């Protein structure tokens, strides 16, 4: 019964964050939220806390990404919920990727967010752009 509203909320919060208003996402995050983005690119991170997550999002958003959610799956009880977000994104004309974000929630608060995607594509994109800087 609550899975559909949770999926709607996740889509809404991501749309707002990419549009520049991450206040909804930040309010949903626990104060000590953990965020992990794999790889050796400048995006690679293992962060803790709302401020750190907000800074990472601001940098990502500064690249004017196109970020689309393809599917949201919700499982578990409200006190121990898992949300999987399948997405695809693009930056400019030369970067495309797809992946999954694995979100753990307790009572409506995001406890952790782990990103799984092709990190070699990110590294190749950075290498192309650093070579031209």
* Beta strands at 95-106 and 109-117: parallel, antiparallel or unpaired: antiparallel
**What does the pLDDT average to over 20-34?**
96
Residue 2 pLDDT:
83
Domain covering 3-131 assigned CATH 3.50.50.60 in the classification? no
Secondary structure (H, E, C), 34-47 = EEEECCCCCCCEEE
Per-residue pLDDT band at 1 (split at 50, 70, 90):
confident
Evaluate whether 97 touches 18 at the Cβ level (below 8 Å).
no
CA–CA separation, 53 and 112 (whole Å): 11
Residue 19 pLDDT:
94
Q: What confidence tens digit (pLDDT) does each residue in 83-108 have?
A: 999 999 999 999 999 999 999 999 99
SS3 content of the chain, % helix, strand, coil (to 5): 35, 45, 20
Residue 132 pLDDT:
66
Q: Using CA of residue 58, residue 133, residue 124, residue 41, what is the dihedral sign?
A: negative
Per-residue pLDDT band at 133 (split at 50, 70, 90):
low
Tell me the whole-structure pTM to 2 decimals: 0.93
Q: Using CB atoms within 10 A of its CB, is residue 10 exposed (0-12), middle (13-18) or buried (19+)? A: buried
CA–CA separation, 123 and 73 (whole Å): 29
- Over 90: is that where the pLDDT of 76 sits? yes
The closest alpha carbon to 90, from 16, 11, 18, 9, belongs to 18
């Amino acid at each position: 019964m609550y899975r559909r509203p949770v999926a709607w909320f996740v889509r809404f919060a991501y749309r707002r964050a990419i549009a520049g208003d991450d206040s909804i996402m930040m309010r949903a995050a626990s104060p000590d939220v953990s965020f992990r983005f794999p790889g050796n690119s400048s995006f690679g991170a293992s962060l803790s806390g709302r401020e750190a997550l907000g800074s990472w999002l601001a940098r990502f958003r500064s690249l004017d990404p196109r970020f689309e959610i393809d599917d949201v799956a919700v499982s578990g009880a409200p006190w121990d919920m898992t949300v999987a977000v399948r997405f695809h994104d693009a930056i400019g004309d030369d970067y495309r990727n797809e992946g999954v974000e694995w979100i753990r929630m307790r009572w409506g608060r995001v406890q952790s967010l782990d990103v799984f995607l092709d990190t070699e594509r990110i590294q190749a994109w950075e290498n192309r752009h650093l070579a031209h800087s």
